[in-house]
Amino acid sequence: MSKRIAVLSGGLSPEREVSKVSGAQAARALRARGHDVVEIDPAEPFWPEKLKEAAPDLAFNALHGEWGEDGRIQGVLEYMRLPYTHSGVLASALAMDKQRAKAVLRAAGLNCPDGLIADRFEAARDHLMRPPYVAKPNAQGSSVGVVIVPEGANAPPAVLASDDWPYGDEVLIERFIPGRELTVAVLGDRALTVTEIVPKTAFYDYEAKYADGGSAHQLPADIPAAVTDEAMAAALTAHQTLGCRGLTRSDFRYDPATNALWLLEINTQPGMTPTSLAPEQAAYCGISFEDLVEWMAEDASCPR
């Protein structure tokens, strides 16, 4: 049945450009399925009025980062009583706060690296954790602002105290986990498969995620069957424990030296770009991109 769907993309976060690509891809697929699609950018003035005037049946949330996946846009949509895709207010806000999410996930029995929250200026003055460690914004996605401090580093990263730092004053200092980068998408109540990501940059940063050829994806990952099972079970547990809905993607590090699997974070708004991992896993499982966005639209609801 054809519906009128508002695709929300762009937004105010540092991930604006990626969100615009995700939104364009989703809009194209929804139109191909016969839906009446209007595209709205919440960075534009008076966007809620534009959304009301469009009178959609539902909102397809293709936003990333702040205001898109941290519970705030979800709260606006709940207030408007408009069905929407992906996770609701609480799950979105909790998953976006990496340190608090890890506390909840540890309580559910999942293995997460140790970390602490600090003011960025304090973290730039002295090592708050013995290197190697990772310093990153506590509430950003797409690996923006991530800095790896190697073993033997004489000083913490000076960039944390820079006047050009746009990611807020709260940073997460987290133990660096060596090993292989794995990810698992969850669609509804189903973990899809495990992908190993081999970045062509120093690590799986923003460029590796979204630049054409920035990383290689091995699908399915060439890892022991027991690790595959563990990663898929952990991703589903994380999705359910935080109360997520729709499509999520959980990122892991697997250390073959210790045979340990570590859950780094869960993403409630996975990218929908041509290089994105969740649509790639769906395709591997026989779910086309059009089928994927159609399922997500059918899954939209309010409240979530």
pLDDT tens per residue across span 224-240: 999 999 999 999 999 99
Active site members: 15, 142, 210, 249, 251, 265, 267, 271
Banded model confidence at residue 189, pLDDT cuts 50, 70, 90: very high
Class of domain 115-175: alpha beta
Return the CATH number of the domain spanning residue range 94-112+178-287. 3.30.470.20
DSSP 8-state secondary structure symbol assigned to residue 293: H
For 199, counting Cβ atoms within 10 Å of its Cβ (0-12 exposed, 13-18 middle, 19+ buried), the class is middle
Q: Give the mean pLDDT of 111-138.
A: 93
* Distance from chain centroid for Cα 56: 26
pLDDT reported for residue 185: 98
Q: What pLDDT is recorded for position 200?
A: 73
Residue 173: the pLDDT is 94
3-state secondary structure of 17: helix
Domain locations along the chain: 4-86+293-299, 94-112+178-287, 115-175
pLDDT-derived band at 274, boundaries 50, 70, 90: confident
* The pLDDT value given to residue 206: 44
Q: Indicate if the pLDDT at residue 207 is higher than 70.
A: no
Fold of 4-86+293-299: Rossmann fold (3.40.50)
204 — pLDDT class (breaks 50, 70, 90): very low
CA distances, 89 to each of 67, 79, 102, 172, 260 (Å): 11, 11, 18, 22, 32
Write b or e for each residue in 241-279: b if 16 or more Cβ atoms lie within 10 A of its Cβ, otherwise e. bbbbbbbbbbbbbbeeeeeebbbbbbbbbbbbbebbbbb
**pLDDT score of 141:** 59
Query: Model confidence at 166, in pLDDT bands (50, 70, 90)?
Result: confident
Please tell me the predicted confidence (pLDDT) of residue 208: 45
pLDDT-based confidence at residue 203 (cuts at 50, 70, 90): low
Cα torsion at 221, 227, 229, 231 (round to 10°)?
-80
Give the global pTM: 0.90
**Residue positions counted in the chain:** 304
Give pLDDT tens digits for 80-94: 999 999 999 999 999
Read off the pLDDT of residues 11-23 as tens digits, 9 standing for 90 and up.
Answer: 998 889 999 999 9
Three-class SS of residue 232? helix
Cis peptide before 48 (omega within 30 of 0): no
H or E stretch at 22: helix 16-32
